[in-house]
Amino acid sequence: MRIRPLLAIMALLACCGTARAQETFTPRPEWERHFTDVGVTGTIVVVDERDGARWVWNEARAAERFCPASTFKVPHALMALDAGVVRDEFQVFAWDGDEHTIAGWNRDQNLRSSMRHSVVWLYQDFARAIGVERERAYLEKLDYGNRTVGDDVATFWLDSSLRISALEQVAFLRRLYRNELPFAVEHQRLVKDVMINEAGRDWILRAKTGWQVRLERHLGWWVGWVETPQGAVFFALNIDMPQGGADASKRESIARTVLRELQALPLK
Residues taking part in catalysis: 70
Buried b vs exposed e over 49-79: b needs ≥16 C-beta within 10 Å?
A: beeeebbbbbbebbeeebbbbbbbbbbbbbb
Q: What's 214's DSSP letter?
A: S
| H helices, E strands: number in the chain | 10, 7
10 Å CB burial of residue 88 (0-12, 13-18, 19+) is exposed
Question: Minimal CA–CA distance to 91: which of 168, 185, 194, 7?
Answer: 194
Please say whether the beta carbons of 72 and 168 come within 8 A.
no
Question: Strand 219-228's sheet: what is its strand order?
Answer: 26-27, 53-57, 42-48, 231-240, 219-228, 204-212, 196-199
Please say whether the beta carbons of 209 and 71 come within 8 A.
yes
Q: What's 157's DSSP letter?
A: T
* Calculated CA dihedral for residues 32, 34, 38, 40, nearest 10 degrees: -40
The dihedrals phi and psi of 34, each to the nearest 5 degrees, come to -65, -30
Question: Minimal CA–CA distance to 195: which of 231, 166, 224, 230?
Answer: 224
CA atoms within 13 Å, Cβ hemisphere of 244: 5
3-state secondary structure (DSSP) of residue 150: coil
